Amino acid sequence: MSSKIDMKNFCPLPWTEVYIAHDTTGPCCINTELYNSTDVTDYLKSKELKTLKKEFLKGNKPESCRYCWDTEKAGMTSVRQSQTTKGSKLQRVSLAITNKCNFKCRMCNPVDSSAWGSDISATKILFGDRYNRKKHKFIKHKDDYASIDWIIDQCKKEKLLVNLLGGEPFISPGFLYFLEQVNKYNLYDNISLVITTNLSVTKYKRIDFIQELSKFKDLDIYASIDGCFKVGEYIRQGFDFKKFHTNLVAMKDLINFFSVTVQIYNVYDLPTIYKYADRMGIKINLNYLVEPDFLQISVLNRDQRNKILKYYESKNFYNKDLYAALSNNIDNSKLYDNYINYNNSLDKLWNKNIKDYIPELSALTLEI
């Protein structure tokens, strides 16, 4: 890359990272649909990737990267700004290794979770008038063995950071296959492994993950959590906080971060999550929900946001990015009714009532 590049808008991720989603490929966790295939070899030679690189080299802001520009405009830290890779060599490969999942999270979908895909009624609620029986019917779980083989081949040649996501990797046959291949070719020194897990299990098919993952010299495990106690159990169908805590204690020496997706459902519970993380000696990595847009915190109006900020103040809680997210001028409050209708429909289907789980958020709605 030229030394004369305008770094103001530049992002190295099209050069340094590949993100393989369930059916598409892109340069990062936000821009996952740049190329309509998971054939990485073809993606790296694709016109789409070459065009994206040219845009950055010209100092432009590619439209497919709009989320980062909007995030920065709102005063928050974007994926582009938080990345640490440099140069023009591939250094990191992220893979949604499976869509097999044992949770149905309210902000998820049938493509990323087989549990969602098996619930046709919930899927109809999510897609509404856009529901297509052929397109959105039960999606069987699938593991991306072809991409695993590609990653293993790359790691035979050079060291890479490999980031595995789901679905839920710990219940994935594909993840067991990945571990088998790493062991077969003794690639423990050639892989910096990052895994995101909902921590619902620590063993699968007699494989003890504490034992297996301890073989990696460079390992980061992100335990995904969006709420403590009954808040988390409301957001995630299948989540058991006591079980999560038990497994966290068992794997504590291997777990580095909590991965938290900021959304309307947990906006009141974030102080509790931070307090829990601090007690357990674990750092927090915040992600801001992209889709569905009607569950983003930007659907809250100014009065609602101010009430939340006052709540944070009463809890002596402050986070720079969260404060910016709640104080910026991004206004999607026109989508608030979409959130209400969606949530009421899911509550009815799943026999729950938000008042019993997140009374603060329920009260916020009643005040409108």
pLDDT of residue 137 exceeding 80, the answer is no
pTM value? Answer: 0.92
Q: What is the mean pLDDT of residues 344-350?
A: 95
Q: What is the pLDDT of residue 190?
A: 96
pLDDT in tens, 244-265: 999 999 999 999 999 999 999 9
Give the pLDDT band of residue 309 (cuts 50, 70, 90): very high
Query: Residue 72's closest CA among 15, 126, 9?
Result: 9
N-term to C-term CA, the chain = 52
Given the DSSP bridges, would you call strands 191-197 and 283-288 parallel, antiparallel or unpaired?
unpaired
244 close to 199: Cβ distance less than 8 angstroms:
yes
Q: Is the dihedral of CA 97, 103, 107, 109 positive or negative?
A: positive
pLDDT in tens, 237-246: 999 999 999 9
Phi-psi region of 156 (alpha: psi -120 to 50; beta: other; left: phi over 0): alpha
Q: What is the pLDDT of residue 185?
A: 98
Q: What is the pLDDT of residue 318?
A: 96
CATH code: domain 95-366 is 3.20.20
Query: Residue 156's closest CA among 186, 129, 180?
Result: 186
pLDDT of residue 6 exceeding 80, the answer is no
Q: What is the pLDDT of residue 362?
A: 87
Q: Which of 109-118, 130-139, 318-327 has the lowest mean pLDDT?
A: 130-139
How far apart CA 165 and CA 285 sit, in angstroms, is 15
How far apart CA 216 and CA 249 sit, in angstroms, is 20
Higher pLDDT, 143 or 165: 165
Query: Residue 35's closest CA among 10, 11, 18?
Result: 18
Q: What is the pLDDT of residue 184?
A: 97
11 close to 56: Cβ distance less than 8 angstroms:
yes
pLDDT in tens, 64-83: 998 898 888 877 788 888 88
How far apart CA 288 and CA 274 sit, in angstroms, is 16
Q: What is the mean pLDDT of residues 176-182?
A: 97
How far apart CA 95 and CA 166 sit, in angstroms, is 8
Q: What is the pLDDT of residue 111?
A: 83
Q: What is the mean pLDDT of residues 186-201?
A: 97
**Residues with Cβ within 8 Å of residue 232, at least 6 apart in sequence:** 225, 226, 239, 241, 244, 269
Q: What is the pLDDT of residue 51?
A: 96
Q: Mean pLDDT, the chain, as a whole number?
A: 91
pLDDT of residue 124 exceeding 90, the answer is no
Joined tokens for residue 7: 């770094």
pLDDT of residue 202 exceeding 90, the answer is yes
pLDDT of residue 213 exceeding 80, the answer is yes
pLDDT in tens, 268-286: 999 999 999 999 999 999 9
Give the pLDDT band of residue 356 (cuts 50, 70, 90): very high
* Start and end residues for every CATH 3.20.20 domain found in the chain: 95-366
Q: What is the pLDDT of residue 131?
A: 65
